[in-house]
Structure 1
Amino acid sequence: MAYKDYYDVLGVSRSSSDADIKTAYRKLAKQFHPDKNAGDAASGEKFKEIGEAYAVLSDPEKRKVYDQFGHTGQVPPGYGGGGGGFQGGDFAGFDASQFSDFFQGLFGGAGGRRPGGGGASGMGGAGFPGGAQVNLEDLLGGVGGTQGRRFVQNVEGELQVTLAEAFSGSDEVINVDGKRLSLRVPPGTRDGARLRLAGQGPGGGDILLTIRVLEDGRFDLDGDDLTTSAEVPAPVAALGGDITVQTLNGKGKLSVPPGSSGGQRMRLRGQGWPKKEGGRGDLYVRLNITLPKTLTDEEKELYRKLRELRKEG
């Protein structure tokens, strides 16, 4: 089985720090985000690879195991196949609980998601790199191959959603052991929230999903409040007026008072994140004052007059 090199996917070296990995992920996630590349299948696939890579390399334990075994696909000595790779072969004589720890430690958080809203999330046994499909019954169906004993096995994975999907809620489809399962991410879901699909795992075990909310270049979430930025033409900043602001609900209107300056923050009440107790936090808008790159002759004359007036004042 050929695995992706997650370091290459993120464009970092194997000695990169956690901060370097996070920085690389943020840059690539913004570049290939489905919202910015609508209809581009290649960008969607790249976005999925980036998420898979970050899910593994951002977790110290998973990164440690990946550094040891991720490029070869070899099972450590003593785990059934004797280092022969994940081929679903002879697992006779090993400790099933020991394999469970290894299985969840290596693959617990590398699950993919559907890019942009098309297709199913490929868990492939709770998130195998590259979306590989592995028959969990072969791996967990029994000890000794012929005894046929079943193990109730909880499977853990991660499901990545965009900030907008976490805000509004989204319907997702995952693929576990060839079985398509539908689930609902509730509106207002936070990063790190856990979803349980009871009885849907191997042998009737549970599937435990940790929600990972992807960072959005337009909004920052802090508690119940969101922060974004908006461009304000210089004349509007000077004289006051209304501007259009992007919110997670769509477009909103913000009244800019006269004499506003760059970096000033304004608040739109009730336009933030849904609260557990009901209601919503606030949306803070940081003003960026802009000047036209090109001016008409009339505009130039007006700016000259304004300059002279400012000198006289």
Structure 2
Amino acid sequence: MAYKDYYDTLGVSRSASEGDIKSAYRKLAKQYHPDKNPGDESAAGKFKEMGEAYAVLSDPEKKKVYDTYGHSGQVPPGAYPGGAGGGADFGGFGGVDGSQFSDFFQGLFGRSGGRGGMGGAGGTQVNFEDLLGGAGGGIGGGRRFVQNVEGELQVSLREAYSGTDETITVDGKRISMRVPAGTRNGGRLRLSGQGPGGGDVLLTVRVLEDARFELEGDDVNVTVDVPVHVAAVGGPARVPTLKGDVTLNIPAGSSGGRQLRLKGQGWPKKGGGAGDLYAKLNLTLPASLSEQEQALYQQLADLRK
């Protein structure tokens, strides 16, 4: 099995700071984002691997376990958050293929379909609560064990914004569920009675960072490339939003770095309505200029002297 090194996946050293890890992830995610590489399975695979690596290295507890036991792949009892361990072989944690980490919990708790994956480097935690059942709860009226299963579900920013349907597997049973629109990072979802023995399934939602959009409270920030001549004289430009692209009229004389607000195009608010989207202008020039264009730019430069 191939060794999977999360630091190598993100191209950072083991001494990299939290900021370095975040910066490396955002740079690579922008390069391999599915929206920029439609139909490219290789890019999609790399994008998923980067999300898996970032999910571990951006979480202090998971990173600590990975740094401590990563080379051996053997996690002692109680070392991993949620009580996993006891010599369990956590695949991606050194020496074995990262997919084995997901396989460790597959029989009890898995996710099929969709991106991100249950378990794996996302850090599925399995906890059990033993509750006494009434008479007849087990063979001969013995104890009846109810198991609460706790895990982490990864979704993209767009999926969290619009909501998404997922299918997970708990104790061999496939369960369809809905992640509500506007779900925040760290949000908790409870599937009552869907766990082993009638227990609950408790999911913590991790919203993966997006290479294009940045969420700040209820507002969304995005950078928009605008040709310099459009910024100078004004004109339309396409602005990406979480709902889809819209046309925005760029005011004449706009400079690079200027932010234009699109009201109500941000993240859904709990009490109704939505935040705003702020489009930051990035002025661009053609990669090459014709002789006529060069002459016109020279005329403009002479006028500005």
TM-score (norm 2): 0.74
What is the CA distance between 1:5 and its match in structure 2? Answer: 4.1
Which string of whole-angstrom CA distances, capped at 9 and with x for unpartnered residues, describes residues 163-204 of structure 1? 111111111122333322211111111111111111222222
2:97 aligned residue: none
Counterpart Cα distance in 1 of 2:73 and 2:237: 54
Alpha-carbon deviation of 1:235?
2.0
User: How many percent of aligned residue pairs carry the same amino acid?
Assistant: 67
Mapped contact 2:146–2:199 kept (Cα < 8 A)? yes
2:166 alignment partner in structure 1:
172
The reply to whether residue 158 of structure 1 matches residue 152 of structure 2 is: yes
Q: Does 1:294 align with 2:288?
A: yes
Contact 1:230 1:287 in 2 (8 A): yes
Q: Is the 8 A contact 1:113 1:120 kept in 2?
A: no
Q: How does 1:30-49 map to 2 (within 5 A)?
A: 30-49=30-49
Q: Deviation of residue 128 (structure 1)?
A: 4.2
One of 274, 277, 291 as aligned partner of 2:271: 277
Match of 1:225 in 2: 219
Are residues 1:57 and 2:51 paired? no
- Residue in structure 2 matched with residue 27 of structure 1 by the alignment: 27
- The residue number in structure 2 matching 1:237 is 231
Is residue 52–residue 116 contact of structure 2 (8 Å, CA) maintained in 1? no
**Structure 1 SS opposite 2:20:** helix
| C-alpha distance 75-280 of structure 1, shift in aligned 2 (>3 A) | closer
Q: 2:246 aligns with which of 208, 233, 252?
A: 252
Are the aligned partners of 2:111 and 2:169 in contact in 1 as well (CA < 8 Å)?
Answer: no
- Give, in whole Å, the separation in 1 of the partners of 2:148 and 2:78: 22
Q: Are the structure 2 counterparts of residues 276 and 77 from structure 1 closer, same or farther at C-alpha, using a change threshold of 3 Å?
A: closer
Aligned positions of 1:100-139 closer than 5 A: 122-123=117-118, 127-129=119-121
Q: 2:230 is aligned with what amino acid?
A: V
Residue in structure 2 matched with residue 303 of structure 1 by the alignment? 297
Match of 1:103 in 2: none
* Letter aligned with residue 181 of structure 1: I
Larger displacement relative to structure 2 (10-19 or 173-182): 10-19
Call closer, same or farther: CA 1:3–1:128 in 2, change over 3 Å: farther
Aligned to 1:301, what secondary structure does the other structure show?
Answer: helix
Measure, in 2, the Cα distance between the counterparts of 1:267 and 1:200.
44
Q: Which amino acid aligns with 1:44?
A: A
Letter in 2 for 1:33: H
Q: Does the CA-based 8 Å contact 1:122-1:175 persist in structure 2?
A: no
Would the aligned equivalents of 1:48 and 1:112 in 2 still touch at CA under 8 Å?
no
Deviation, structure 1 residue 257: 1.5
Aligned partners of 2:191 and 2:202 also within 8 Å: yes
Paired with 1:31 and 1:112, the residues of 2 have a C-alpha distance of 29
- Give the counterpart letter for 1:271 in structure 2: Q
What secondary structure is seen at the aligned counterpart in 1 of 2:304? helix
- The code of the aligned residue for 2:65 comes to V
Moved more, 235-244 or 32-41: 32-41
The CA RMSD over aligned residues, in Å, is 3.7
- 1:236–1:256 contact (8 Å) kept in structure 2: yes
Find the partner of 1:201 among 195, 204, 225.
Answer: 195
Cα distance between partner residues in 1 of 2:193 and 2:269 = 30
C-alpha separation between the residues in 1 aligned to 2:149 and 2:250?
51
- Runs of at least 4 residues off by over 6 Å: 111-114
1:177–1:67 distance in 2 versus 1, CA, 3 Å? farther
Tell me if the contact between 2:122 and 2:153 (Cα under 8 Å) persists in the aligned partners.
no
Aligned partners of 1:259, 1:62: CA distance in 2, in Å? 49
Give the letter for the 2:224 counterpart.
A
Q: Give the letter for the 1:41 counterpart.
A: E
Which amino acid is 2:237 matched to?
I
| CA positional deviation for 1:15 | 4.2
Question: How many residues get paired?
Answer: 273
Preserved contact between residue 224 and residue 274 of structure 1 (Cα < 8 Å): yes
What's the CA shift for 1:252? 0.9
Instruction: Give unmatched runs, 5+ long, in structure 1.
Output: 88-105, 142-146
Distance 1:84 1:308, change over 3 A: closer
